[in-house]
Every structure is written in structure tokens, then in C-alpha cells.
Structure 1
């Protein structure tokens, strides 16, 4: 400011030709212009604060599962939600957010109470993550009966919010018989006996007698009298049934109900087994111990149709005819005779290479592929080929999987092959195959370049808390290698039977005449019920590289289906059975004890559905849920203030105009 003023005074006061009072006006305008320009050069920053009030959030989550309506609590739930969300004082104090939950969490529009499963723990976990940095007490309307997910009693330790369960159900204790759990293998073998374990429960005070029966169709295949009392409230019944024919066999376990028993739905339970003719025996041949061996055995044997035997090369040669598939783990010099036998007998094989693989031997023993030998190793990340056409692959997040270590150098295939996984380094696909399959001379083969599969199985568990994703991937690869089926243009993936509350999902892949995956195909499934011959058609939707249809909710029974292309005469067929069972109808009361424990552990409080006025009063009087005044500090540079440019331009123009008007220019 001083510099601008001195400069203006020098120009208009010191030896200036302007003698009138006009020089004072011009001095002021010049000082203002120079001051503005110098301010822009310095560009100072200014702080501004804005204050606002932030109300706490009130999360209202309603259980939308079938058990709520089965316990006749649906009207109570709607009434409580309506009362809470329309309360004027609550709306002034909180930002109310409404949700419903069953197996997943959704925004709440209306409640239908048709969810076939309830996952309370997942709902609480998601609310804890979304509102981690806010004050957000959770009002949860539920009967406390969870049918899916981990125990929600322990979730409160990870959710930093107060939880207020509203119990949908009464506390009256009724006498009740139930089948608590049923354990049976999914697959059994023809002419074999398979074990069945049934855990039966009794809730009551009197001594009662009942009978447990297992039905196969209209035939009783097992029965046993059982006595319960106030002291003896549970009994485990074990038996063994015989598998007499191949296919899906459905059974029903039934407890004779008590007189005037309120809930008889939980007295019976259906189960099924798939009877298969023989087990697929797989030889895993090795020459050195490695964690991959155990991971492969566990993964493959997760399907009870398959058995893995880990053998040394000499042991395998002595029992070669006992196996339908051989896995060669890092072939060494000791594999020479094994490789010769595989070639001469035309056996299916799965070769896994690593840092100790003898590539000289492997290159010379077959004419399918050649590896450039560099005697150097490298870590490679997997990259999934979504156009793989031989069988359906679940879209796993392979890019997040740990790298595998393998030989550095070019791998060249000399026969037609399909790449499942390719190698990538630092996110860049090298174009080199990591896992490939090929068919030659009516035999099937696969080659995996890399050791460290045990890390993949561990990563699968870290991602989803289950090994299923990785085990299914390896299982499909082994199933393909162990069978003699030819390639089809439509591949379908489904289970032979589904339990009543399972998701009935059927996947398909469609390939054009060149066996390239077609993501623009129009596929339809034609579903026919064997019981009443009813037919329905449902389109398949593209999802993560597969065409899928979700048939969850269809009635129990046996079904035939055909997946067809809408414009080409190409199709694939199958059949499955849905066993009758509704887990949401197994409950007689709300789980009050667990809900009270949940509230206490989270510093909240449990209420019955008739105590909503007390709940509202408690929320309004709790000092933990006060409105917080917050401020936002903004730092703004002067360059962002556009008015200053206008002032500079206006003062320069005014100075020029005055001088021009008075003949000073």
C-alpha cells in the first residue's frame, strides 16, 4: 500500500503538469490500481470459517425375513417403524436412516417379510463400517433368529455404536419338539451304507414320549422311540442307511408331534444324497515335499466324489491302473518312467512346474510344449482369461492373489491349447500362459507354470472366510481332466440337488462356432416341474463373464431344465431337485436372551415391540446423542477473488478516461 501510494504521488504530485484538484483523483486511482496489481503478485491467503450443526444419525433396521411373519409380528414391526420414523422430536434430534435386512442389507421402502434367510451379524457389520466416524445408534427390529452368517453376539465388539434391539416376539415358553441339526454326506457310493446323525431337541418340563422316523418316499427306513424330560432335553440319534440305486435320493426325518404342539414345522426335515457309482481316484506324484501337495489334496477332496493319493514315482508305477488322473508335481529325473507310461497309455495328466522342475526331461518327454531354459526364476501374477471356453470358471479376483514362482523364459505350445490364466508382472500381461489346457489323441492335459498354490488357497479364505472359491476352481479343472466328455458350445454348471434355503443358481457359457465366448448371446432356460408338468421360461443374464439365472424361491420338487439359444438350434439340458425346508419356520420364539446380551455389550438397551414409547424417550433423553456444532475452515488465495480484477480494471479505465477527457493524453 505504501509503495503504491508513493509511486502514485511521484507520478502525479512531483513535477506533474496537472495543476488542478484533478491530480488528487488521478493519484487515488493510480494508487488503487498499483495496489491491486501488487496484491495479486504477493497473492496472500485468507481464512474463512463456516459453522454448522451436525445431528447424530439414527439407524432403523428391520428384519424382513419370513420368521417375523411366521411369529405373527409383522404388524407390530410396521407399527414400530411408522411410530419412530414419523416422530417429530426424533426427526428434530436425528437424521433417521431406514434399512431392511434378510441375507443382505437394503434400503427400506416397505416390508414384505419374504426373505428366506436372515443375517443379523452382516447387517450390524455393515452399519458399523458405514457409520464408523459418526454418532449413529442402531435400532434393530428383529426376532433375533439368525439363519445365516456368524454369531451376532460377538459382532457388537467390532461395532462402535449403541444397539437397541426391538424384540419381535413374546417370551411365553411353549412345549416344543424340534430337529435341531442333521448331518449327512452329500455324496454316497452305490451299495454302500452312509451315516446319518440327527440332533433332536425338546423344550418343556414334562416327561414325554415320541418316535423318530426316517422316510424314503412312503416307506419308513428307520424308526426309534425317544423319551424326553426336563433333565433330558436333547438326544443324538445315529444310524446308517443303504444306497441301493444311482441318482439323487430324498429322505424325510420326522418327530411325532406332541398333542397341541404349536409349531410342528420344525418336527421334520428333508435331506438328500447323491448316489454315485464310483469315486474318481487321483494320483498326486511328487519327488519333494511342498505345502502345495497338502493344499491340492484338501482342495480336490473337498468334493467327496474324489480321492487323492500322494505317491512317489515308483509307488505310482506299481498302482497306475487304480487312478483316472495323474497330477505331476514338479517332475524331476525320477519321473522318467512315469512320463513314458503316461505317453504310452495315453493317460490324462495335470503337470505343475516350479523352481526345481527338470525342464530338460519335460521338454524331451513330450511334443506338446517347450519351455526355454534360463535357469532363472521369476514371480508372476495370474491374469484370468474371461474368454476361456472349455468349462465354466468362476470370476475369482486372481489379480489380488499372491504370485507363483516359475521358470523365467518363453513357454511355447506346439498344439492347440486354451489359456485359463496368463502371467503378468506389475499389472502388465506378458502374454505368456500360466495355466492352460489342451486335448490331443483323445486325452486331456493341463499345465500350470508356478509353485505356491497353497498361498492361493489361503488368500481365498482371507477374501471370503471360506476355501470354497478356490476349491471349486480346482475341482472344475480336475473334473474336466478326469472325464471324457467332449467340448460343447453351451456349458452349464449346477448342483444335482438344492436344500430348501439354498440359492438355486444355474450358470452357463455360450461359445460361437470358433469356440470364442459370446457375451451378446440371448439364452433362455426352460424349467419343467416333474410333479405337475408346469413350464416356465426365464432369460439368463450376463454376470461376471457367465450367463446366470437365479431360481431361488421355486417350490420344492424335481425339475428338468434346458438352456437354449434363442436364435440357434443349440441347447444343453440337466435336472435337479429342490428339497422342502424353510429354515425361517423353525422358530417358536424370539431369541430374547441373545438380543438382550447384544444390547448390554454395546451399551444399548433392549425393548419389546410394545415399549416403543420408552425407546423414543430413552433416545431423546440420552446425552450421548447431542447435536454437535462443527466448523469448516476454508483457506482462499486472493487470486480466487474475482472482484479484485474488476476493481483493477475499473480504476485503470477511470484514470484513462479522466485523462483523455481532460486532454492530458
Structure 2
């Protein structure tokens, strides 16, 4: 500890001088005390005044604290369902608890042992008995990446990974391990042998169809160790078999593809079940059955696309719309449009309009009066001045007459509908869109899906957004190049599915009529098991101004009729609710509120799809675990060899105490003993003078 002050040190010499002068003036010339008393009182007054004057300069006490921190050792436990789906499930449960206790008891003196668990995400494990092995996916790479980012360089000694090595989600574990800073010690669980199994691997189908139509279904089945065996596969609707086929397995590792046509008998969310007849001796029968859900609608959504002429984005939009059967899209050059063409139109898309040649102001106003939803896709030929006059809620300032490129940045606060998690993660791979250069301004209440990133700088300018004019929602995509997004997403992801889902969500929000009325609720349409169910509610007064004074309640009902009540939380505008993770099946919801003496309600349903990733494959991958250890300089042991692990850890990753210094400054006024000393000095002097009758 040392003393620090903002003033020059020689200023502090004034403190004892002031104390000396004060005591001399008071006691040197007085004859009321014997000399010994005078010297004592002189000294008391000198100390008191000196300390008080010292406080005037407000010196600081400088502390340096040396901290010795043992290195961290992370015990990372796999909490996915595959860990306990084999015959050794009891041994694995007990082994995980034993390992966590062993690491703490054997290495706790030399390391700071912390316990983590993971499935699709990693989190701290407060109680080692909390593991429930209910994770629906395993992301070993993501878990290791999170651990590597969580601890500073030099803090982490090693990671003990307890897993069966079955990785089915997220980053490549070996890719993460190659740059991992410390050894990974793996403990292998599970059975690596190939077992008799019939497994439903993948199911492909159209999520939307029309009531009364047949829709194609593709079923991929994997047969392992079942050469010569016979079985049967069925498709059921409402517990009634609507399609069935027998098959015989020809070899020990064979794949089958079945492509039946299935009928959608009525409108609504329809549940179908695929069931494979199990074989004698088959241990894992959980992957023999799977449910899927199809939304059967009355008629397709009618979409009108208008542009000056052929455009790659028009082609990309039409290709996406034609891949399913839920949209019926027509394209017209803007010059050929007439009032008769907009009958039964659910959505109008303006592509690269208005331009210097084509002013669409009158047309937009007519659609607005008819309450027709509209989506504007801007481009390099868009006349920004004319666009600003359309009153879309987004305006472009500081016009240069040039075009600019905008990369997309996902807005995590967007709540109108849910974007596929994989697409959120892969937004960075998308190329830029091209639109008018300028400063984009959005009216209050604009919901932004993607922001613009220009020249590597993220901006607050909207790239894809929704606005509301006179109570009607409009969509704006501030650049052309959607066709490029489609091609790149296919190249990187191997499928158009994620891009199709994004575009479908953008279109359905506008065309689905969800933006009508004074009370609106945005609910999930389809979730995967393990995902959170988010709801967004909006309440408007008669002037279509957003209000959120009254409470809004939500009631969820599962497929068994169980009800779960919730209450929305108020946001800056509107309401939000996270209903958490829900069980697979069809869920119905009803939201309600009261405002200005009127009752408002909205209702709907959604589906939570089963995630079969953890039951599709139960063959442990110990080769992956060994590779993780070899790449990082660790070692792999089996569950029966864990007693040797503490010694191996000390040899390979010896504990090195991490020494840090913590510096702090405290005011001298916080030093209460000094205040007490000043008080006692003054009180003692006062007492002596009082005793002698001199005050």
C-alpha cells in the first residue's frame, strides 16, 4: 500500500507546518499548564491539525493485490439422448457422475475444476446430478468452440470430454480442434459395433398442399445388419394405413428410397405417421417411427409480379414459387397491366420499380385503397426520388444517382416471424444486393429483418424491412440480386430449402392477412424439437397507433388437451413472449386482451416436429474422439480406465499457477481507523482542557 495524490508532494509539507503553527499559537505563550502538560497538549493539537489538513488534499491509497489462480480444467459432458440409448445406459449415467466427482476430488487442489454439459449448446453445470440426457442434437464442435472463447489465454489447462463421439449438428469438431489451445482428454462411451437396425433417415415432402390433392413423399430408410430380413413400411393418417409396402433387405448395409403419393383429405394441419415394422433382435426401435405434418390449404396464394421487363430476380421468384404448390405467381410487364389483372390478387410485387420511365404512384395508391399487400424490390434502375413519393415508410436521402452494394446483416431483435437458424448462421456467405446509393431512413415502428453492411461497416440502414401505412403492412427489399442469394445458398448448403423458407416467410407475412385488425399475434408456424416458441403481439387504437397498456394473455393447448397459460411481456412497442421449449406435436394457441371496453382475441396452431438425430444413429464414433485428442496433444481413455486419467492430465498438462496483479485506488476518507484516530486525538485534548477548566 502507498499514498498517492494529484498535487505535488511538497504541497503536503504545508500539513505539518500548519499543525505546528496552530499548536505554537495556542500553547507556547500560555502559563495555565505545567510544562509537561503543555508539551502533551501541544503534540495532540499538532497531530490533529496535521491530519485534518492532510484530508484537504484528498490523497488516495494505492493497493496492489497479487492473485494466484490455479489453471482451469473443464469437464465437458455430453448430455444428448444417444448417450443413454444403448444397452450400457446405466453404466454411462453412473460413469458421468463418477468422472465429475473424480476430477474434482483428485485434481481440485492443483486445478480449478469446472463442469460443463452440452447437446446443441454448451452451458455451465451447477450440479453434476442435473444431467438428464434429453438433448435432441449433439454439437461437439460448437461446445469446444464456446469453451475456447470463454477462457483467456493461459487460464485453461485442458478439457476432459465425455462423449460417444456421435456428432450431428454444428461445426466440424476436428476443424475446431486443429486450432484449440490446450489438450483435449476424451473419455469414450457407447458401442462402436454395427447392430441390427432399420432406421428412418430422411423424409422429404411439401409442407403445404391443397385439400383433396395428392402430394409426393420421399422416405429414405437405412438397413444395417439385416441381410435377408423382410419387413414392412406404412404411412398412416389418423391411425389409418393410407399406403404400405413390403421390402426385403439384400445386404448388410442397404439404403431404400420409397416415393408414394399421399392424399390430403381435408383443409388444416394434417398429421401423418411413417412406421417401419421392427425386426426380432432389433434394439433401437425409436428410429422406426416418425411423424410429419402437412398444411392443407383451400387455394394457392395469388401473386402478381410487375417489372419493366425480364429480370433475373423475377425468374428466381417464379422458380421458388413453382417448386411448391402453395403459390400461383404471374409476371406482367408494367406496361401491360390493367385493372382487370388484379382480381383475386393476394400480393403485388414491384421489381426494380419505379424507374425514370415508369411512375407507379397512381397504381400503388389504387392497390393501397383496395388493401392489397405490396412488396417493393429496389434495384440499380429504381428512381429513388419517385420511390420516396410512394410513402412506403422508408425514404432515401442524399441521393447521388449511383448504385451501391449492400451485404445483409441479420437483426437478432426481429420478431415478426422466425428465420431458420442455419440461414441466420450462414447470412455471412450471401453476396450483396444492389440498390440506390444514399442514406436510408425508416419511420418509427419499422421492423427490420436485415440491415445493410456497406464496405465492411454495419449500418443502421434497413435492407429488408416491413413498415405499416394506414394500418397496412408493406415489405421493402432495398436491392436487387435475390437470384444470386438463391444460387449461393444452394452452392454453400446444397439445397434451396433454407432460401425457400426465407422467401416464403417474407411473402406469407404480407399475403397471409396477418396484418389486418387492431389485435395481431405473430406465432411460429413450424418448430423443430428443442427450439423456443416465440410470440409477438401488437395492439392498435382506432387511429392505428400502437398501444401496450393492457395485459395480453396466451393459452397453449397440446395434442393431449393439456392447457398452459402465459402472460406477454411489454416491449417498447407491442408485446413479446418466449414460451420455452415445447414437446413435439400440434399445439393450439389463443391470445386475448381487453382495451377501451372491447375484447380482442386471435388464435391459431403450429407444429413442433420431432428431431430424430439422436436416435437415427447409435453407433459410437471413438475414432473422432481419438482424433480430437491426437490433434490437440491429449489422450483418449475408455470409461473403464478413468481412474488413470488424473495422472495422465498432470503429466500432459501440468498445473501452472497463473499470477496476476490487481491494482486499486481508495480515498483516504474510506480509511475509518484514521477518522477514529483524529476523533480520539481531539477528544483527548478536549477532555484534558475540560478537566483543567480551560476551554
Q: What TM-score results when the alignment is normalised by the length of structure 2?
A: 0.67
Counterpart of 2:517 (choices 488, 506, 516) is 488
Counterpart of 1:330 (choices 349, 353, 364) is 353
- Report the secondary structure of 1:565's partner residue: strand
Per-residue CA deviation, residues 413-437 of structure 1 (Å, 9 max, x unaligned), is 9xxx974469999999899x98633
The match for 2:120 is 103
Per-residue CA deviation, residues 316-357 of structure 1 (Å, 9 max, x unaligned), is 669665853222222235546996598389554333445533
For the residues of structure 2 that align with 1:596 and 1:524, how far apart are their CA atoms? 52
Are the equivalent residues in 1 in contact too, given 2:73–2:114 (CA < 8 A)? yes
For the residues of structure 2 that align with 1:284 and 1:579, how far apart are their CA atoms? 33
Report which stretch shifted further, 62-71 or 95-104: 62-71
Structure 1 residue 78, shift from structure 2 partner? 0.9
Structure 1 residue 62, shift from structure 2 partner? 1.0
In the superposition, relative to structure 1, how do residues 573 and 324 fare at CA in structure 2: closer, same or farther (>3 Å)? closer
Structure 1 residue 212, shift from structure 2 partner? 1.4
- Report the secondary structure of 2:260's partner residue: strand
- Report the secondary structure of 1:625's partner residue: coil
The match for 1:522 is 551
The match for 1:63 is 78
Counterpart of 2:151 (choices 128, 131, 142) is 131
* Structure 2 gap ranges (5+): 1-9, 11-62, 669-695
Per-residue CA deviation, residues 560-596 of structure 1 (Å, 9 max, x unaligned), is 3212238873322122344566543445443333323
Counterpart of 2:469 (choices 422, 433, 438) is 438
Residues 33-432 of structure 1: pairs in structure 2 closer than 5 A: 55-71=70-86, 72=89, 73-87=92-106, 90-110=107-127, 111-113=130-132, 114-131=134-151, 133-134=153-154, 135-204=156-225, 206-287=227-308, 305-306=326-327, 311-314=332-335, 323-328=345-350, 329-332=352-355, 335=358, 343=366, 346=370, 348-353=373-378, 356-358=381-383, 376-377=400-401, 392=416, 406=436, 419-420=446-447
The match for 1:8 is none
- Report the secondary structure of 2:556's partner residue: strand
The match for 1:655 is none
Structure 1 residue 139, shift from structure 2 partner? 0.8
Residues 516-555 of structure 1: pairs in structure 2 closer than 5 A: 516-518=545-547, 521-529=550-558, 531=560, 533-541=561-569, 546-554=575-583
Counterpart of 2:640 (choices 590, 610, 614) is 610
In the superposition, relative to structure 1, how do residues 525 and 411 fare at CA in structure 2: closer, same or farther (>3 Å)? closer
In the superposition, relative to structure 1, how do residues 470 and 229 fare at CA in structure 2: closer, same or farther (>3 Å)? closer
In the superposition, relative to structure 1, how do residues 128 and 293 fare at CA in structure 2: closer, same or farther (>3 Å)? farther
The match for 1:652 is none
Structure 1 residue 607, shift from structure 2 partner? 1.9
For the residues of structure 1 that align with 2:624 and 2:586, how far apart are their CA atoms? 38
In the superposition, relative to structure 1, how do residues 549 and 234 fare at CA in structure 2: closer, same or farther (>3 Å)? same
Are the equivalent residues in 2 in contact too, given 1:559–1:575 (CA < 8 A)? yes
Structure 1 residue 156, shift from structure 2 partner? 1.9
Per-residue CA deviation, residues 623-665 of structure 1 (Å, 9 max, x unaligned), is x43526768799x9xxx9xxxxxxxxxxxxxxxxxxxxxxxxx
Structure 1 residue 372, shift from structure 2 partner? 10
In the superposition, relative to structure 1, how do residues 372 and 177 fare at CA in structure 2: closer, same or farther (>3 Å)? closer
Per-residue CA deviation, residues 11-54 of structure 1 (Å, 9 max, x unaligned), is xxxxxxxxxxxxxxxxxxxxxxxxxxxxxxxxxxxxx9998766
The match for 1:625 is 654
- Report the secondary structure of 1:436's partner residue: strand
Structure 1 residue 551, shift from structure 2 partner? 4.6
Structure 1 residue 272, shift from structure 2 partner? 1.5
- Report the secondary structure of 2:109's partner residue: helix
Are the equivalent residues in 1 in contact too, given 2:556–2:564 (CA < 8 A)? yes
The match for 1:9 is none
Are the equivalent residues in 1 in contact too, given 2:380–2:480 (CA < 8 A)? no
Q: What TM-score results when the alignment is normalised by the length of structure 1?
A: 0.69
Are the equivalent residues in 1 in contact too, given 2:521–2:538 (CA < 8 A)? no
Q: Please report the RMSD computed on the Cα atoms of aligned residues, expressed in angstroms.
A: 5.2
Report which stretch shifted further, 161-170 or 150-159: 150-159
Structure 1 residue 488, shift from structure 2 partner? 3.2
Q: Are 1:562 and 2:562 counterparts?
A: no
For the residues of structure 2 that align with 1:430 and 1:586, how far apart are their CA atoms? 44
Structure 1 residue 220, shift from structure 2 partner? 1.5
For the residues of structure 2 that align with 1:430 and 1:534, how far apart are their CA atoms? 44
Per-residue CA deviation, residues 28-86 of structure 1 (Å, 9 max, x unaligned), is xxxxxxxxxxxxxxxxxxxx999876644311111223333333121221111111121
Number of positions where the alignment pairs a residue of Structure 1 with one of Structure 2: 571
* Structure 1 gap ranges (5+): 5-47, 641-665
Per-residue CA deviation, residues 338-397 of structure 1 (Å, 9 max, x unaligned), is 965983895543334455334687789x79999899863487999999999xx9367999
In the superposition, relative to structure 1, how do residues 262 and 550 fare at CA in structure 2: closer, same or farther (>3 Å)? same
For the residues of structure 2 that align with 1:430 and 1:52, how far apart are their CA atoms? 47
Are the equivalent residues in 2 in contact too, given 1:526–1:563 (CA < 8 A)? yes
In the superposition, relative to structure 1, how do residues 226 and 163 fare at CA in structure 2: closer, same or farther (>3 Å)? farther
Are the equivalent residues in 1 in contact too, given 2:200–2:288 (CA < 8 A)? yes
For the residues of structure 1 that align with 2:413 and 2:272, how far apart are their CA atoms? 41
For the residues of structure 2 that align with 1:199 and 1:469, how far apart are their CA atoms? 20
The match for 2:38 is none
In the superposition, relative to structure 1, how do residues 483 and 231 fare at CA in structure 2: closer, same or farther (>3 Å)? closer
In the superposition, relative to structure 1, how do residues 245 and 59 fare at CA in structure 2: closer, same or farther (>3 Å)? same
Per-residue CA deviation, residues 297-326 of structure 1 (Å, 9 max, x unaligned), is 788889873465565335666966585322
